[in-house]
Chains A and B, each alone.
Chain A
């Protein structure tokens, strides 16, 4: 096999705890010497992926190659990787020196060599003269340095870092980010960094792997991920963004918020519904003049240190977030324009909800674990398997779980400028997507109702 360029190859890895799937068919290759960040919200499976690579968990399915050999079933102490844990996990009964020397002592190296190596890494993490200290007497940042030293002294092929800076305060975190980046350069080994902090990921990485719900959403360089997000989840998760519904009228021409814009995207076809991403810093805002492509009224303006963050409402009723160094008064009408290159067009992942269903009788159909009334069911044979389409707008949400036909939990909210696009998780672990003007919160428990007329049956 080849495998010389790539230090880690993950093939079709799936993992589940009980009947809950946390990783779903993950494929990933990491090059030698790369700084790779696994980025995603909590519960997306990123820590599980890291624990599989470290060997603390055994994958339910798939293969993991490290440094060219199959290590799917290798126990952690025989893998050429070392881990820096989120809560440091220093050995409290050993001092700094013995913590760092732990791995070397196990290898039975001569004590003079151990001493030399420990002193070397202490210098790298700028903790010289601390070797006799008790680890409990160190500050959080110092403990983190010792944890890193303890891992890199073993000269691993890959250093795994599991949210190593999460427990530090902001200023300390920024300093440590720079130090970790410098260390990566100096050591030349592969770093695999797990975090939920998008800014940290953008600052540190050569490659970012964005994960959500056990799946890889996008792999790319920080600029690719930021400028060319592949779907609305990535666009929303990385940085601030305006995500709007649009229509690709033709190559290089897209319509959204009631206007047609020139853009640089092509190959979507004609009159295709798309998602449009606008970064708030990419929209030009100025005193109303002829240069304006469209206009809007400032509804709020907040000073954010370097820039102002303003919400602008267009006459067509769309709300857009804009960041600019200049301040415009609330209530003022302003001119707006966007450069073609700053309009990012994404293919829509779906245009409506699609569920698998079964015809129960002439007027009923069963899907999502519930039997719905549906007059058009009579056109299909009893018991046949069909697909069911329901428009985003046709799903009705109710405050009380009991009022709906089935209960659900709001799991993801996306603001689309003039409405919200919600993802609702049902008890059967299926996602329902809903467009609504009402404001809901993440985690709200709601009742879901679908009227008989909204159910469109499609023969398979």
Chain B
């Protein structure tokens, strides 16, 4: 009995330590105090001022930039990654293994290396840094994750499905659209969500590819803000919103994974 109690309190303690910082931010997003840690009574003022723009225009524009970059990067890498996965799946075993290794290198590679190499690439190609380079960079590190989430779907699929569609009179394009894509959709959606969260989350690669034309994403904005001394209080409600959003996305992914196993 005591053993069970000790075990569960240990787990409880761990969870509290893990989630305390986030919880504190969420709690203190509902008060007006400028400094984190002062409770000056419940208020939704930070939430309203976050969405009013005006003084915090740069924060909201950073938020928009982040979302647009995330959506574009996730969409493009979902398309590229799915195409790559289909290609990889249809290779002979030997080249397939080789390409899968190549695909996993960007995932294992430290962010800073990816960041520096992309930075050098863009500079040497003379591409002016800004929206385009950030999106290209995000597509680069997101695509391998999409490949990884679509491949298992392909492996589980009956190997003759595509041929069956051709056999029944579908052109290769129609067979892809009517049979392959519906079959791969769950993997593509998981891949998209994964790519989107990775893109929103990214700091290192973004910092190196964002240039100095005044473009800011959330992560670079917060970093710059913190270095100027003191975080804007509106970051608290923003963090709370992002946390809840990610939590919901995560629950959706897990639900899908659980359903797939059935």
Contacts and interface: CB of A to CB of B under 8 A. Distances in A.
Interface of A: 54-56, 75-77, 81-83, 85-93, 102-103, 106-107, 150-151, 154
A87 B160 CA distance: 8
Contact of A91 (B163, B172, B179): B179
B165 A82 contact: no
Given A89-B160, A106-B174, A76 B167 contact: yes
Question: Dominant SS at the B interface?
Answer: helix
Nearest to B168: A103
A131 to B, nearest CB: 17
B229 interface: no
B168 A89 contact: no
Residue among B167, B175, B178, B182 with max Cβ neighbours from chain A (10 Å): B167
B182 A93 contact: yes
A82 B169 CA distance: 9
Nearest to A86: B160
A56 B174 CA distance: 16
B167 A77 contact: yes
Nearest to A85: B160
B167 A102 contact: no
Contact of B168 (A55, A82, A92, A93): A82
A86 B164 CA distance: 11
Interface in B144-179: 158-161, 163-172, 174-175, 178-179
B183 interface: yes
B181 to A, nearest CB: 10
Interface residues of B, number: 20
Contacts of A76: 163, 166-167
Contacts of A92: 158, 183
A102 B179 CA distance: 10
Given A77-B167, A106-B168, A89 B158 contact: yes
Interface of B: 158-161, 163-172, 174-175, 178-179, 182-183
A83 B167 contact: yes
Contacts of B159: 87
B163 A103 contact: no
A442 to B, nearest CB: 26
A89 B169 contact: no
Contacts of B163: 54, 56, 76, 83, 85, 89
Residue among A75, A76, A81 with max Cβ neighbours from chain B (10 Å): A76
A85 B164 contact: yes
Contacts of A83: 163-164, 167
Contacts of A151: 167-168
Contacts of A55: 166
Given A87-B158, A92-B183, 7 more contacts: A56-B166, A76-B167, A77-B175, A85-B158, A88-B158, A91-B161, A106-B174
Contacts of A87: 158-160
Contacts of B167: 54, 56, 76-77, 81-83, 151
Contacts of A107: 169
A102 B169 CA distance: 9
B169 A77 contact: yes
25 contacts: A56-B163, A56-B166, A56-B167, A76-B163, A77-B167, A77-B169, A77-B170, A77-B171, A77-B175, A82-B168, A83-B164, A85-B160, A85-B163, A85-B164, A86-B160, A87-B158, A88-B158, A89-B160, A89-B161, A91-B179, A93-B182, A102-B165, A102-B178, A103-B168, A154-B168
Contacts of B166: 55-56, 75-77
Residue among A87, A102, A107 with max Cβ neighbours from chain B (10 Å): A102
A87 B164 CA distance: 11
A239 B158 CA distance: 34
Contacts of A91: 161, 164-165, 179, 183
